[in-house]
Amino acid sequence: MAEQTLTQFTDKILLEKTFSCAVCEKLLTLPIVLVEDVGNVCNNCCKERDLKGLQNVKLEMILKELKIPCKFQATGCKERIIFSSLKEHETNCKFHEKPCLLSHAGCEWKGVQSDFRSHFNECHSEHVITNSQSFFVIDVNINEETNVTKLLKGKQECIIIIKKDLEDLLHTICDVKNTECNYDCIIKHLGQSSNCVETKCKVSSFSNMHTTRINLSALQQMTEATNVVTLQIKMSTYNESTEFDEKVLQYFECPVCKMLMKPPIYQCKFGHSFCSNCRPKLEKCPNCRALFGTTRNYSLEGLTAGISYSCMYHHLGCEDTLLAHESDKHEAVCPFKPYPCPLDDCSFKGTHSNIGKHLDENHKDKVIAADFFKTTVEFRLEQMMDFYNFHQKFYIVFDENIFRLSFKRNSDYSFWAVEVLRKKEEDDVFIYEIGIIDMRKPDRRLIRCDVCFTDTNSEELFKKCILFPNNILASYACNGMFTYYCQIRKRQ
């Protein structure tokens, strides 16, 4: 009852503007100055207008005892805060209306934090990047007046703002869902060299943003960046179990390759352990110079059954943790596993998801974005010796799987082979079908099928592939040309 009476009293005197500045009419701030012929004036107005008076100590004492409604009451805040904490609360209040972070681009929306996500998703979808692994890549042109704003949707949802300011590149990153944040963001800056500049920053709240500065000159010098800097952004969460795993896993680190050891784990006679990849390469223990036998560290191997290993590509963004017997299968198809471009003269490297995009954008003349490819080639039996070293390669991309079709011919045979370069699912098996079409009678066809190759060298490839004798193909040729197709399907 007393609390209710105090609340009613507070509301009444606030309504009567007893605690309002006589000049600006806002809630008084300390110290309160009683100015003759003016009234009670806040500290800010006294300084701005150079007003003199007496400090109203008694009014200050009463004000300090009151719980004041947040000034964002009209937009949904129901908090009443003791006066001494009012300023801090209102600074961070989630009901504080703010303009859209793309207001510089012409957006006139203004609202509270809880409505911001839906507004951004609906009105600025081109600025939204989604990755369930909370790993994001953004290209920034540092020769322009940069102002990049993106909503990063992963396990968290964060806004990142990147600006160029004189000699610095500024990053501001904040969580748009949580008012209190307890995780970090790692940002790697890459240019044309293999070097990168890495910075770790705490993710701030939406209502209390802070900025990290990176010197542009140093960044360009370190990474050899010219126009574009690529930002790799990795969100991470912290919890006690993660800290425990990290402390335990340090004892499973191979001293040679620094990778985590999984069964089988070998040891020298003095107990120094090494992974199964490094052991065959060592004649003596690099720690104590003792000779190796075939001794296994079964105790350490037994402990691996209860250990969760981070994916070997965690530094590239993968957050999966797996048991030892599961990790090899995952790492074979991990979405963050880096792959080189399959074209011999291209140095590009990328993940499973962007290698297909790279092929489509940079090698259109060699890429077929479908599971069916049909073409017509020159064929004259009397000229086969001229084509002894004739060899064509095409790349087929469909359903996130990447294949290489190789067509070769010599004086006696024509060969077709299809290799699986990238699989979306490791267990998938693919069949390729080669069909020779008589274009004078399209229903007349010569068809053969076989299983797509994996990890086969070029010498073995054409020993096991589909082939047709050239003298048979001659009967399907029309005006010195013949048509073939290649179709790929998944084996059920």
Q: What is the residue-wise DSSP string for 191-252? A: -SSS-EEEEEEEPEETTB--EEEEEHHHHHHHHT-SSEEEEEEEEE---HHHHHHHHHHGGG
- Tell me, yes or no, whether 248 and 219 share the same domain: no
Domain boundary among 210, 236, 262: 236
Distance (Å, rounded) from C-alpha 395 to C-alpha 346? 14
Measured in whole angstroms, the distance separating CA 51 from the mean position of its chain's CA atoms is 56
Region at 110 (left for phi over 0; alpha for psi -120 to 50; beta for the rest): beta
Distance (Å, rounded) from C-alpha 446 to C-alpha 437? 7
Tell me, yes or no, whether 361 lies in a domain: yes
Distance (Å, rounded) from C-alpha 236 to C-alpha 101? 24
255: preceding bond cis by omega (within 30 degrees): no
Tell me, yes or no, whether 330 lies in a domain: no
How do residues 189-206 score in pLDDT, each as one tens digit? 888 777 788 888 788 877
How do residues 10-57 score in pLDDT, each as one tens digit? 888 888 888 899 999 988 888 989 998 899 999 889 989 999 999 988
Rounded to a whole number, what is the largest CA-CA distance in the chain?
114
Residue 469, SS3 per DSSP: strand
- Tell me, yes or no, whether 395 and 417 share the same domain: yes
Domain boundary among 211, 236, 261: 236
In order of 128, 136, 141, 225, 307, the CA distances from 144 in angstroms are 21, 22, 6, 14, 48
Whole-number pLDDT of residue 238? 47
- Tell me, yes or no, whether 255 and 268 share the same domain: yes
- Tell me, yes or no, whether 344 and 483 share the same domain: yes
- Tell me, yes or no, whether 221 and 104 share the same domain: yes
Q: What's the number of domains the chain is made of?
A: 4
- Tell me, yes or no, whether 218 and 348 share the same domain: no
CATH number at residue 15: 3.30.40.10
- Tell me, yes or no, whether 109 and 222 share the same domain: yes
Tell me, yes or no, whether 435 lies in a domain: yes
Mean pLDDT by 10 residues, the chain (492 residues): 69 86 90 90 90 89 88 84 85 80 86 82 88 82 82 85 86 80 80 80 77 85 84 69 58 79 85 84 82 80 77 74 79 78 78 73 80 82 58 82 87 89 81 91 91 80 88 88 90 81
Domain assignment of residue 68, given as a range: 2-92
- Tell me, yes or no, whether 159 and 173 share the same domain: yes
With residue 400 as reference, give the H or E element that holds it.
Answer: none
Tell me, yes or no, whether 133 lies in a domain: yes
In the beta sheet, which residues pair with residue 230? 139, 190
Tell me, yes or no, whether 313 lies in a domain: no
Tell me, yes or no, whether 25 lies in a domain: yes
Q: What is the pTM of this model?
A: 0.45
Whole-number pLDDT of residue 247? 63
Tell me, yes or no, whether 331 lies in a domain: no
CATH number at residue 221: 2.60.210.10
Whole-number pLDDT of residue 352? 66
- Which tokens is 442 given? 């399209």
Q: CB–CB of 417/466 below 8 Å?
A: yes
Domain boundary among 92, 123, 142: 92
- Which runs of E-coded beta strand occur in 243-338? 265-267, 273-275, 309-310, 321-322
- Tell me, yes or no, whether 178 and 44 share the same domain: no
Distance (Å, rounded) from C-alpha 289 to C-alpha 272? 10
In the beta sheet, which residues pair with residue 39? 35
- Tell me, yes or no, whether 52 and 105 share the same domain: no
**Measured torsion, CA atoms of residues 74, 80, 85, 87, in degrees rounded to the nearest 10:** 10
Whole-number pLDDT of residue 385? 52
In order of 17, 261, 321, the CA distances from 182 in angstroms are 40, 31, 21
Whole-number pLDDT of residue 246? 58
Whole-number pLDDT of residue 172? 87
Q: CB–CB of 100/120 below 8 Å?
A: yes
- Tell me, yes or no, whether 357 and 245 share the same domain: no
With residue 129 as reference, give the H or E element that holds it.
Answer: strand 128-130
- Tell me, yes or no, whether 109 and 219 share the same domain: yes
Tell me, yes or no, whether 325 lies in a domain: no
Distance (Å, rounded) from C-alpha 173 to C-alpha 193? 26
